[in-house]
Amino acid sequence: MNKTVLITGATSGLGYEFVKLFADDGYNLVLVARNTEKMSAIQQTYSHLDVVVLTKDLSKSGAAKEVYEEMKAKDIHIDVLVNNAGFGLMGEFDQLDLQKQVEMIQLNITALTELTHYFLPEMKERNSGRILNVASTAAFQPGPFMAVYYATKAYVLSFSEALVEELSNYSVTVTTLCPGATKTNFGSVASVEKTKMFSKAMLSDVVAKEGYNGLMNGKRVIITGSVNKLGAISAKFLPRSLAAKIAKYVAGEK
């Protein structure tokens, strides 16, 4: 029997790349996203697999619970959970739309936490499972002009690493993917495509493959790209004030 993966944000960017990687390895798919049309196209592409489509906006309260309840109703057991959905916004904190920033917290933090909480007990009971939480190199320092986004990704990294230790006696792994700038629609949504940070953005398929391989090998944290690794390591040793100044600089236009 094929294993089943649930992927949030499954219709574009890293999410879609993960769909292809898991499908190529024969996983049945549960796709969670807002775009029903794109998910239906994916369903048709992989008609040899069991593909379940759930049209949900995880930035809305209660959506994550609805996902879990639909899995229970369909008696679908999730072997791999990929918490990929997320977005960012560029601008001065007090000038950005507050509701959009609250939705960012809901999606990047709350929905990820809720889905993990719902599906983890079953993985522990089976003593088998994998969770991939998509964070960012933003997790390693404060981020002026993307203050809320950087903070959400710091939460994802801290939360995930804590779970690794909690699950040390189980055959359940939690992996955090920390990519730097990546060529997805994130850049246009966040309005950061013209910034220095996106001057050497990595291809999404390359980032997803590194994340996928790391997940399957049970790695704790994956930082994609040598420059990103250096930056993340450096941020650990720099004063927080200096790290914030550097983040502010790279948020500027090229």
Residue 173, helix vs strand vs coil: strand
The 10 Å CB-count burial string (b at 16+, else e) for 179-217 is: bbbbbbebbeebebbebebbeebbebeebbbbbbebbee
Dmax over CA atoms of the chain, in Å, equals: 53
Nearest Cα to Cα of residue 87 among 169, 8, 17, 25: 8
Tokens 């007990």 sit at which residue? 121
What does the chain come to in residues? Answer: 254
If 0-12 CB within 10 Å is exposed, 13-18 middle and 19+ buried, where does residue 89 land? buried
Which listed residue (46, 149, 155, 212) is catalytic? 149
**What contacts 209, CB < 8 A, 6 or more positions away?**
17, 21
Separation between Cα atoms, residue 18 and residue 229, nearest integer Å: 22
Task: List, edge to edge, every strand of the sheet that includes 4-8.
Answer: 51-55, 28-33, 4-8, 80-83, 129-134, 172-178, 221-223
Residue type at 221? V
Active site residue 16: no
Supply the residues annotated as catalytic. 149
